[in-house]
Structure 1
Amino acid sequence: MESPRRARLRLLPLIMLTPNILTVLALCAGLTAILFALSQDWTLAVVAILLAGVLDGLDGRLARLLKVAGKFGAELDSLADFVSFGVAPGIVAYLWSLNEFGRFGWIVALVYIVCCGLRLARFNTALEDPAKAALAAMFFTGVPAPAAAGLAVVPMIVTFQWDLAAFRHPALVGAHLLVIAFLMVSRIPTFAFKKIRVRRDLVLPMLLVVGVLATALAAMPWATLTVIGVAYVALIPFSIVSHKRMAQVMPPFAPAEPAPSGATTQIDHHQSTEAATQAGQRNHT
């Protein structure tokens, strides 16, 4: 007679696999960005990387909503992040500009890719530490991988909007990529925006800002994305100051740093809600 657990696994609703499907789609988007770059279709290459970022932001939230987050999904998400936000931007930048520097340009691309892998590995290891500071719930350590990928393609986005050849110079692109690589593996605190709480009296102004931003993205996508990238970097000093101030008033221990945006499969469906929630929080690493 078939065990109840095996029968339950065979009857797993398709919707429970949706978070993993989104993660796989994000992985495919990252790989497709490389294909577009090989064809010198730079616009679609950037769009594919940005699409991977959107999908990465959805899979973890959906996994938590469905309460199906698990270890398999977290590992799959980490792999997708490395390809889509590490390998893809590095290769795209190399084919777009850095190849003019020959081997040195390739080394720069490798440094970026390796730093992305190191950041993800450090984050996954940190998840196993039960004694994380309370601040870790509101701040990332270093720039998360999806944000780094978005920053990595900013020079390309600038040329799409304003056709400024200087932003394609390999020296500028290489220096830009190295700075981002450093930010990924640094200990600099950066805001985890999904954990920031908004005062009730600021809800309507915030919705207005979101509406204006959506309109700007539809009307002037490249210019708007450039402004978003610059604004994100400009917020880093404020995140450092905010982190220092909050460190003086918050208790020493609390829940762990935002955890992976991974989803689950049939193997993980039986895990407890508490463990699933911890594994499913790794969004925007």
Structure 2
Amino acid sequence: MLPRPRRRGIYVLPNLFTLAALFGGFYAVVMAMNGRFEHAAIGIFCSMVLDSLDGRVARMTNTQSAFGEQMDSLADMVSFGAAPALIVYEWALKGLGKAGWIAAFVYCACAALRLARFNTNIGIVDKRFFQGLPSPAAAALVIGFIWVADDSGLTHVSTLAFWPWVTCAVVLYSGLTMVTNVPFYSFKDVNFKRTVPFIVIVLIALGLAIVTLHPPVVLFGVFCVYGLSGYVVYAWRKMKGQHVSVIATSTDEPDERGLH
């Protein structure tokens, strides 16, 4: 009698982080539907933290898997693609009519394209840089903008004359920047297993203290700087005559060597 084939299981720990990140995106959409945009913003930012941890936890515990990679991409599409698009539409863009939902769809589509390109180019891109703005950072720009405005007491934005168009510009910038070839630093070369000087821990504690002063403004400011940093790096490399592509090697897939 032949032995029964062993069933393939999944690793629990990293996928718990991924599921929690997915829940954050779902929670944010539900809060936005109920007009609680501050809670929606907190849900997206919590998803960002959890999304940054699942991959590191998998590598540190040696529990990487193809299932985990696919699960992570699907959760990212919900939390940083569909959820921000729906939230920003409910907050401001529905006041623009057809132009509003088109802008929201452009952002959602760009997030899907960015994630698909990331998955297919994962073996040929310089690990130190992202090819285009990563989707969590794009979501942080859109949701951070909403959080700052909501925190300042701005309500019923979709009925105003000026703010929906400003929001539309932020959404289009965030979405289209995701599908550019502009390099954004990935922080993946930071090794948390190495020893660091004592001052580094002090600076981290200081950074956390600064965030707690006014989370909406500080977090939105940080991601605004990051959202512009790729273009600064691109312009600097262009001025120096350096290679600006993040593609490390050639491939048989369609050519995507970046802007030169």
User: One fold, TM greater than 0.5?
Assistant: yes
Which residue matches 1:283?
Answer: none
Tell me, in whole angstroms, the C-alpha distance in 1 between the residues paired with 2:135 and 2:101: 20
- The one of 64, 76, 85 equivalent to 2:59 is 64
Hey, what's the Cα distance between the residues in 2 that align with 1:66 and 1:243? 37
For residues 178 and 210 of structure 1, what CA distance do their matches in structure 2 show?
33
1:158 corresponding residue in structure 2: 148
Change in 2 beyond 3 A, CA 1:64/1:105:
same
Q: 2: distance between equivalents of 1:225 and 1:81?
A: 20
CA distance in 1, matches of 2:48, 2:12: 19
Residues 26 and 53, structure 1, Cα contact 8 Å, conserved in 2: yes
CA distance in 2, matches of 1:246, 1:218: 41
- Give the letter for the 1:159 counterpart: A
Name stretches of at least 5 consecutive residues in structure 2 with no aligned partner.
250-260
> CA offsets per residue over residues 45-102 of structure 1, 9 Å max, x none?
1111111111111111111111111111111110000000000000000000001011
CA contact (8 A) 1:158 1:167 kept: no
Question: How has the CA–CA distance of structure 1 residues 52 and 114 changed in structure 2, closer, same or farther, with 3 Å as cutoff?
Answer: same
TM-score, scaled to structure 1: 0.74
1:157 Cα deviation (Å)?
2.2
Instruction: State yes or no: 1:214 paired with 2:204.
Output: no
> Is the alpha carbon distance of 1:225 and 1:2 closer, same or farther for their aligned partners in structure 2, counting shifts above 3 Å?
farther
Pick which of 68-77 and 229-238 moved more.
229-238
How far apart are residue 230 of structure 1 and its match? 2.4
SS at 2:6 equivalent: helix
For 1:173 and 1:71, the matched residues in 2 are separated by 37
Q: Which has the higher contact order (CA 8 A, sep 6+)?
A: 1
**CA distances 1:141-177 after superposition (whole Å, capped 9, x unpaired):** 0001111110111221221443467987110000110
Structure 1 residue identity aligned to 2:6? R
Task: Indicate the percent of aligned positions where both proteins have the same amino acid.
Answer: 32
Tell me how far apart the structure 1 counterparts of residues 93 and 83 of structure 2 sit (CA, whole Å).
Answer: 14
**Structure showing the higher helix proportion among its residues:** 1
* Counterpart residue type for residue 226 of structure 2: Y
Partner in structure 1 of residue 42 of structure 2: 47
Separation of aligned partners in 1, 2:235 and 2:64: 34
Question: Structure 2: which amino acid aligns with 1:32?
Answer: Y
Aligned Cα RMSD in Å? 3.1
Q: Which residue of 1 aligns with 2:136?
A: 146
